[in-house]
């Protein structure tokens, strides 16, 4: 049972345009949501996060939106750059049980073309 | 500034062999984690250690054991490797603040023949 879903395995956008990556979740007990970026042969690196009590968080070119009623979050990258080409993972943290355990989605491969 | 260091980076095993993946962090983090990444499956939690001296099962613990040797080190052991354990393994640590952010190592690619 996939609690965090990224339904688009890949996304291609032109340099300078907006990239929108989507993520859906089923567990209403998640209290924190994070986005990670992963380049080939490297570990995932943290990009941006949002608490479940907020609906938007912005950091430079990256903005994450959370729609709790729809159990949906999205990552906007504006403007997209070739260096943004990577796999993006959505992750969610359960608010019970402790241990800061993250549940990850399956990832979306973003390709930013010149 | 090493962060999270994993060894080895690559390993090939035969079915039934055993091995240990080593992980060390130099950020004085309390919590450490082992994840595996498989195509189309994302990252799945194998085991984690919320603090020195404690370990708990994650989503896919079968076939693995862990040891939290001290605050810095968290090892993952495969006692009898199976082809289904062919994967990329990532160790991570958490600094303990409420943001949930994990710091990951570069990964260990394991192939079981």
Classify burial at B113, counting beta carbons within 10 Å of its beta carbon; exposed 0-12, middle 13-18, buried 19 or more. exposed
pLDDT at B4: 97
A52 touches chain B (CB under 8 A): no
**Closest residue in A to B102 (Cα–Cα):** A46
A43 touches chain B (CB under 8 A): yes
Mean pLDDT of B11-21: 97
β-pair type (B31-38, B87-94): antiparallel
CA distances from A49 to A19, A60, A73, B34, B101 (A): 17, 13, 11, 21, 8
pLDDT at A94: 82
pLDDT in tens, A72-112: 999 999 999 999 999 999 999 986 666 788 999 999 999 99
pLDDT at A65 over 80: yes
pLDDT in tens, A42-59: 999 999 999 999 999 999
CA–CA distance, B32 with B91 (Å, rounded to integer): 7
A24 touches chain B (CB under 8 A): no
Cis preceding linkage at A68, omega within 30: no
Residue with tokens 């073309």: A113
């Amino acid at each position: 049972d996939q609690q965090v879903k990224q339904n688009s395995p890949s996304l291609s956008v032109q340099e300078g345009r907006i990239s929108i990556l989507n993520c859906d979740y089923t567990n209403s007990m998640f209290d924190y949501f994070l986005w990670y970026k992963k380049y080939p042969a490297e570990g995932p690196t943290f990009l941006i996060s949002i608490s479940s009590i907020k609906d938007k968080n912005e950091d430079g070119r990256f903005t994450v939106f959370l729609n709790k009623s729809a159990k949906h979050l999205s990552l906007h990258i504006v403007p997209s750059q070739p260096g943004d080409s990577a796999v993006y993972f959505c992750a969610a943290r359960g608010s019970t049980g402790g241990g800061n355990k993250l549940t990850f989605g399956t990832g979306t491969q973003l390709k930013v073309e010149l | 500034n090493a962060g999270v260091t994993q060894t080895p980076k690559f390993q090939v095993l035969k079915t039934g062999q055993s091995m240990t993946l080593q992980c060390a962090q130099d950020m004085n983090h309390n919590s450490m984690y082992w994840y595996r990444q498989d195509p189309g499956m994302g990252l799945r939690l194998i085991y984690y250690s919320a603090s020195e001296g404690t370990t708990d099962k994650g989503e896919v613990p079968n076939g693995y054991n862990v040891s939290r040797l001290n605050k810095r080190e968290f090892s993952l052991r495969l006692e009898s490797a199976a082809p289904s354990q062919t994967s990329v393994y990532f160790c991570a640590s958490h600094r303990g603040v409420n943001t949930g952010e994990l710091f990951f190592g570069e990964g260990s690619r394991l192939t079981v023949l």
